[in-house]
Amino acid sequence: MAFSEFLVERVRERFKNISNVEERKMMGGLIFMVNDKMCLGVDIDKKTNLDRLMVRVGKLAYEDLLKKTGSKKMDFTGKVMRGFLFVDPEGFDMEEDLDFWIEKALEFNKLL
């Protein structure tokens, strides 16, 4: 499993007051499950060797959120997973940007 402990701690801090959060190592990274649903993950992009987020935002917000800095389509197997995004460091290095992505993931999680 390859992921940044520093980034995991940043995410963990934001989930500490959320109930029903579980961490699972899967998909080559660490996934934060909320209410037994995949919400957000942390891994390292094997091509660039940079940290990245995996954010579940749903299909309705997907196209608009693709326009955000650092955001791109999630394609683990070569097939795009609509409703999920990868976010590169330029999109979450600033604290307010990381807050934004976590908020979007939690918003969608409430709809599930």
CATH code where residue 67 lies: 3.90.1150.30
- Return d(Cα 48, Cα 66) in angstroms, integer: 19
Alpha-carbon dihedral sign for residues 22, 23, 24, 26: positive
Encode pLDDT of 12-38 as tens digits: 999 999 999 999 999 789 999 999 999
- The mean pLDDT of 75-88, rounded to a whole number, is 90
**pLDDT attached to residue 78:** 81
Backbone phi, psi, residue 96, to 5°: -70, -30
Name the domain count of the chain: 1
Q: Domain of residue 17: give its range.
A: 5-111
- Return d(Cα 4, Cα 111) in angstroms, integer: 29
Q: Which positions ≥6 away from 16 have C-beta within 8 Å?
A: none
